[in-house]
Amino acid sequence: MRTSLTASHVFYRKYDYPLPLIVRAAGPYLFDEHGKRYLDGSGGAMVCNIGHGVGAIADAIADQARSVAYINGTAFTSPPVEALADLLTTKAPPGLDRAYFLSSGSEAVEAALKLARHYHVASGEPQRRYVIAQTPGYHGNTLLALAASARTSYRTVFDPWLLDVLMIDAPYPYRRTLDEHAPASALEAAILAAGPENVAAFIAEPIGGSSTGASVPPPGYFAHVREICDRYGVLFVCDEVLTGAGRTGTYFAIEHFRDAAGQTVVPDILTMGKGLNGGYAPLSAFLTREAIVERIRASGANFMHAQTYSHHPLSAAAALAVQRYIDENALVERARTLGAVLGATLQRMRKTLPSDAAAIVGDIRGIGMLWALEFVADRTTRAPFPRADHFAERFVETAKRLGLVLWPNTGHAGGDGDLVMIAPPFTITPAQIDELVGLLREAIIATVTGRGQA
């Protein structure tokens, strides 16, 4: 372990924070320079859906690097880019038939919101400028994506640079018990308050990521969202950067939500990242309707967004190989079936905890291979720990010392609040699920008793 980063020339996000030096990875495991093994219980940042060290992906990257690694995406196209777009549009909800490739989830969200704005300008409605988003919620760290995110700790320094984005409450069953119509009604109220003619887009995660800890909205929520957006000419942007490519047990999480006719709710723009490439090469995408692209084209304009590494052949080849591996090994189905096993194992684990440790596990929730534990100071009132206690951070560090990697989030309960995300690779085995949950239990007990302190 690098005990001090002051000796490193790398600028890390956290100062003088000890980082193990990882030299090898295989399946759900990471290995550091001293041979210590870590079970990657969160797939990094909910990224590694097929596991580490898959040789077929490395081979595809090497083959593409020998052929053509980079082209200017505004001047040329390439076989892997074309093939990946074909594959994704066949998997997407009906009507999402154009794919645009970038490098990160934040960039995909940024570009998607720009596309919504550009569409309205091309439609002769340049006054449509407002975006409506949800709190808690997170969409990325580029400035427009950050403006649409409800993370005070991330926003404070840059607030003077951020646009005004209108916020409504996110569906959060553990903390907000509402009927399924109420959250969507909040969207309509926000549109009416801003003036429907002024609203460009509504953006939401179909199933909560780390901001609400895998919270699943009521079944009818997104059908109502779709109706309201259609009523007022607002584009619905579905952020599947975290959930896309099978994480929730369907290829896209929006597939869990149906309209009155039993059809999947279809957004106007859908973003992807993370599981698209499984961590093997940076890549993100947004998918959109042909009619949106055609409206901009008919206006005589090109889409006003470009990146040096957009439509990158090598990254597209990696993602194409990852998606084929998912299909060939039926990993979306595996995420659904073994995700249920993971959830049941987590629930059983809580029943085996000593009383003091069980008392701080407020909720265990999730779907597919996306689960969360929310920690509370009082299970009866659901009162969170004060943010000054840094419970989630202490817990994750304790887990890491025990050999388990998890993803924390904080501040989701009015500034306080602690939860941890569990999102292992879809390839995890039942025995490895038992190992993961056993380490998780040990970390909870050690943190509560103080034995997890360094």
CATH number of the domain that 370 lies in?
3.90.1150.10
Residue with the two structure tokens 């400028």: 129
Residue with the two structure tokens 């990875």: 25
Judge if 152 and 9 occupy the same domain: no
Tokens of 271: 């973003």
- pTM value > 0.75: yes
Render pLDDT for 164-210 as a digit per residue (tens, 0 to 9).
999 999 999 998 765 555 667 899 999 999 999 999 999 999 999 99
CA 98 – CA 291 distance, rounded (Å): 10
Judge if 45 and 70 occupy the same domain: no
SS3 182: helix
Q: Is position 111 within any domain?
A: yes
Q: Is position 413 within any domain?
A: yes
Assess whether pLDDT exceeds 60 at residue 435.
yes
pLDDT for residue 454: 46
Q: Is position 198 within any domain?
A: yes
CA 316 – CA 64 distance, rounded (Å): 9
Render pLDDT for 33-88 as a digit per residue (tens, 0 to 9).
999 999 999 999 999 999 999 999 999 999 999 999 999 999 999 999 999 999 99
Query: Which residue type, as a one-letter code, is found at position 380?
Result: T
Nearest to 319 by CA among 90, 85, 93: 85
Judge if 50 and 78 occupy the same domain: no
Q: How far apart, in Å, are the Cα atoms of 454 and each of 14, 153, 399, 402, 408?
A: 18, 26, 12, 11, 18
Judge if 352 and 306 occupy the same domain: no
SS3 427: coil
Q: Is 11 exposed, middle or buried (0-12, 13-18, 19+ CB in 10 A)?
A: exposed
As a whole number, mean pLDDT of residues 79-106 equals 97
Q: Is position 265 within any domain?
A: yes
Tell me the Cα Rg of the chain.
22
Domain boundary (272, 295, 328) is at 328
Give the number of domains in the chain: 2
The answer to whether 170 touches 212, Cβ cutoff 8 Å, is yes
Residue 26 burial (CB count, 10 A): 12
CA 212 – CA 421 distance, rounded (Å): 10
Nearest to 370 by CA among 435, 445, 422, 296: 422
Backbone region of residue 377 per phi and psi (left: phi > 0; alpha: psi in -120 to 50; beta: other values): alpha
Judge if 45 and 182 occupy the same domain: no
As a whole number, mean pLDDT of residues 90-116 equals 97
Q: Which helix (H) or strand (E) segment is 269 a member of?
A: strand 269-272
Judge if 45 and 60 occupy the same domain: no
Q: Is position 282 within any domain?
A: yes
SS3 153: helix
Domain boundary (277, 310, 328) is at 328
Judge if 201 and 151 occupy the same domain: yes
Render pLDDT for 298-357 as a digit per residue (tens, 0 to 9).
999 999 898 999 999 999 999 999 999 999 999 999 999 999 999 999 999 999 999 999
Judge if 188 and 304 occupy the same domain: yes
Render pLDDT for 258-292 as a digit per residue (tens, 0 to 9).
999 999 999 999 999 999 999 999 999 999 999 99
The half-sphere exposure of 260 on its side-chain side, counting CA atoms within 13 A, is 4
CA 394 – CA 360 distance, rounded (Å): 14
CATH number of the domain that 79 lies in?
3.40.640.10
Judge if 150 and 232 occupy the same domain: yes
Assess whether pLDDT exceeds 60 at residue 3.
no
Assess whether pLDDT exceeds 60 at residue 2.
no
pLDDT band, residue 154 (cuts 50/70/90): confident
Nearest to 102 by CA among 114, 117, 119: 114
DSSP code string of 293-326: HHHHHHTT---S---TTTT-HHHHHHHHHHHHHH
As a whole number, mean pLDDT of residues 134-150 equals 94
Judge if 302 and 203 occupy the same domain: yes
* Full residue range of the structural domain in which residue 277 is found: 56-328
Q: Is position 347 within any domain?
A: yes
Q: Is position 454 within any domain?
A: no
Judge if 200 and 289 occupy the same domain: yes
Vertex 259: Cα angle to 136 and 122 (nearest 5) = 70
Judge if 168 and 104 occupy the same domain: yes
Name the CA dihedral angle for 265, 267, 268, 273, rounded to a multiple of 10 degrees: -140
Domain boundary (328, 347, 367) is at 328
